[in-house]
Structure 1
Amino acid sequence: MIRAAALACLIAWSGPLSAQTAPDPAAAARAAAQRLDEASRQLDAADGARNRVKALTETLRAYEDGLEAMRDGLRRAAIREQSLLAELQAREDEIARLLGVLQAMGQSPAPVLFLHPTGPTGTARSGMILADVAPALNARADELRSKLAEVRTLRALQETAADTLREGLNGVQQARTALSQAVADRQPLPRRFTEDPVKTAILIASTETLEGFASGLSQIALEESQGSLPDITHRKGALPLPVQGQLLRRAGEADAAGIARPGILLATRPRALVTTPVAATIRYRGPLLDYGNVMILEPQAGTLFVLAGLDVVYGETGEVLPAGSPVGLMGGKDAEIGAVITQSGEGAGNTRPETLYIEVRQDNQPIDPSVWFAMQEG
């Protein structure tokens, strides 16, 4: 009877495990830590860079990429750990029964174990079954040990993540401060025109819509050079988005209040860096209506990129910015380290509380921004 029970347990326990198809979350988190370390080295090197604004912009992007990858790695590690624990707990009864039978078998005299109640035929059959089951049982035990080791690795990873995140968050804050100072200290950029502050104030005071303001932008320019702007029509659909974010609303989709706007809305992390996706002239920067701080860029004649919802804006009206130049930072505050780890483990909380509104206007008519930008959902 003991032998029959053991065979039943062995056959049941040697069944296949669920396959692991997802990338190794521990490896992803370690790679993210390396990216943060590289960003730290970039920050140190930026002090001696010939173009500090460009170097610090790249550094800040590297920090954002590293922190994003670290958050994602921790989230996946937590999900993987929960999955492993659930799987092990689900088979806990089977493992306990198997151990009980094996212990009972170990207490029985060896000759008895090799005999079957039905006689020689039954003994031969059970022997063949054991020969077939034993390799699968060993493989199953090895896989169990591997999963237990993976659980320990994931837990250790999450316990040491606090130091890595602390260094990364401190680094990104230093990079933002250094970038703001570098923008203030940089050499004057080429200008296409000089802003008339009086006409700008009058235009803002008399404007009730973004459309009305955009149509009057030419009135605030003094001594505007009429040199032709480069044609970037061939880059339609391929421009990078100005900020790392997730698409919340497409053009023409109504919000919770039922208001539909012609632009798109991106959810971003606090203090995210906003850059110009292509070389462009700053047509306006500053507060406007209920949009918060607004940056209006002109990449080519008759085309405007409107970026609304920034907290900090860089540059001066009339300046021509190279592609990838910083134009501002989003608002909000970086999450505390404990909150980042908790949100990674629980998958809870709004990790992208800031929103950037992007509108594209062609010959003073709004068009879907997805015509110009390479959209990324999720």
Structure 2
Amino acid sequence: MMRAALFLLLFATPLAAQTGPADAARAAADQLEEASRQLDRADGVRDRIKALTDVVRAYEAGLSAMRDGLRGAAIRETELRRDLRGREDEVAGLLGILQGIGGSAAPETLMHPGGPLATARAGMLLAGVTPGLAARATSLRGELEEVTTLRQLQADAIKTLQEGLAGVQRARTELSQAMDSRTDLPMRFTEDPVRTAILIAATETLEGFASGLSNVTEEDSVSELPSIESRMGTLPMPVSGKILRRAGEADAAGVERPGIVVATRPGALVTSPTAATIRYRGPLLDYGLVTILEPQADLLFVLAGLDIVYGEIGEVLSAGAPVGLMGGTEAETGDMLSPIGERAGNARPETLYIEVRQGDTPVDPMTWFLTDKG
């Protein structure tokens, strides 16, 4: 009888919708669906590059939120299952005690050694056990239902994640194609490829290369961009990610550099933080693929470590224009659902090196960029 009552307490009525990780994952799924709709609409947009840039950003934000939401759901599920195992033992023990008392053959076995008064007091204590057990059973029912909800959410999310990963890859591909076919950007100057090659061969440091950039171009064809000094400290970061090393911090090899290192998602979109001229794009020293932007005279933003770079030397970019993409491949869907992170936390993130040079002197990039991470 007691076990039947407990069953009714556990499963008689459904609880309200869960909050927390489950709601976060559902909101992220909505973000990914909206990104998909944006991608479909981008075909008919006049400024297709801007539209595709917004789509890639929307996908990246949605995928990041989905990863966080699902990881939170997996962690919450693990906690609940661990708690349930302990509580099931507790409830089973209480049921055993109550059933043992209720199955006694003779009433006198329930008589307290202290006499009738003590027996009455013991009965009152026993009566108080049942409401307490009911409360614990109700709580247990809620946890069981939450586990079911979280497990179903994670199962449903596999398709959403797969569609989101396919969507962002399609958006990145279409963006790259649109950038390759672009012909309408203004040109401030024309590069002399011979001089550039000579400069690369003759320099051994980024500082030396940056100092010689003014000597590898022909005369400017348009006026210089306006000063952005008033925006110092407020520019958006070129890429979404977490700062791994700040200016002057040594890396694992003990090398100190004046720029910052930002860990990014695989394939992350890198954009120009403000209107700027492309001073250089291509491989450079041991920095990998590099884009050097000039937002104003005597100010350079160096972005190093990209996998794909867009644009041509001399082109003038608008604020937020695509500069390139980071390398790497997205984690498998199963890794994203893991409560301990992709590939048990052993995945090496993509990294973008950002250096800012005013005149011939490097300055801390964080004096220019605004971030709430790292």
Query: Could you state the TM-score of these two structures normalised by the residue count of structure 2?
Result: 0.88
Q: CA RMSD in A?
A: 2.4
Distance, in Å, in 1 between the alignment partners of 2:343 and 2:141 is 28
Q: Percent identity?
A: 66
Distance, in Å, in 2 between the alignment partners of 1:105 and 1:178 is 73
The superposition leaves residues 181-219 of structure 1 with CA deviations (integer Å, 9 ceiling, x where unpaired) of 111223421121111111111111111110011111111
Assess, with a 3 A threshold, how the Cα gap between structure 1 residues 313 and 113 changes in structure 2: closer, same or farther.
Answer: farther
1:227 deviation in Å?
Answer: 2.6
- 1:72 partnered with 2:68: yes
For 1:13, the equivalent position in structure 2 comes to: none
Assess, with a 3 A threshold, how the Cα gap between structure 1 residues 120 and 240 changes in structure 2: closer, same or farther.
Answer: farther
| Equivalent residues in 2 for 1:47-126, closer than 5 Å | 47-108=43-104, 116-126=112-122
| Equivalent residues in 2 for 1:145-164, closer than 5 Å | 145-164=141-160
Residues paired across the two proteins, number: 358
* Greater Cα shift, 52-61 or 129-138: 129-138
| Equivalent residues in 2 for 1:168-183, closer than 5 Å | 168-183=164-179
* Greater Cα shift, 104-113 or 152-161: 104-113
**Equivalent in 262, 268, 272 of residue 264 of structure 2:** 268
Distance, in Å, in 1 between the alignment partners of 2:279 and 2:354 is 15
Assess, with a 3 A threshold, how the Cα gap between structure 1 residues 110 and 143 changes in structure 2: closer, same or farther.
Answer: farther
Distance, in Å, in 2 between the alignment partners of 1:316 and 1:362 is 23
- 1:248 partnered with 2:244: yes
| Equivalent residues in 2 for 1:178-217, closer than 5 Å | 178-217=174-213
Assess, with a 3 A threshold, how the Cα gap between structure 1 residues 349 and 88 changes in structure 2: closer, same or farther.
Answer: same
1:348 deviation in Å?
Answer: 1.4
Q: Is the 8 A contact 1:75 1:347 kept in 2?
A: no
Distance, in Å, in 2 between the alignment partners of 1:345 and 1:150 is 22
1:108 deviation in Å?
Answer: 4.5
For 1:258, the equivalent position in structure 2 comes to: 254
1:338 deviation in Å?
Answer: 2.9
SS, match of residue 117 in structure 2: helix
Structure 1: gaps of 5 or more residues: 1-5, 7-21
Query: Could you state the TM-score of these two structures normalised by the residue count of structure 1?
Result: 0.88
Distance, in Å, in 2 between the alignment partners of 1:127 and 1:107 is 16
- 1:327 partnered with 2:320: no
Q: Is the 8 A contact 1:72 1:344 kept in 2?
A: no
The AA in structure 1 aligned to 2:58 is: A
Distance, in Å, in 2 between the alignment partners of 1:110 and 1:326 is 85
The AA in structure 2 aligned to 1:327 is: V
Q: Is the 8 A contact 1:343 1:349 kept in 2?
A: no
**Equivalent in 263, 267, 288 of residue 292 of structure 1:** 288
Assess, with a 3 A threshold, how the Cα gap between structure 1 residues 107 and 132 changes in structure 2: closer, same or farther.
Answer: closer
Distance, in Å, in 1 between the alignment partners of 2:216 and 2:235 is 28
1:220 deviation in Å?
Answer: 1.5
Distance, in Å, in 2 between the alignment partners of 1:39 and 1:111 is 71
Structure 2: gaps of 5 or more residues: 3-17
The AA in structure 1 aligned to 2:334 is: G
Assess, with a 3 A threshold, how the Cα gap between structure 1 residues 32 and 79 changes in structure 2: closer, same or farther.
Answer: same
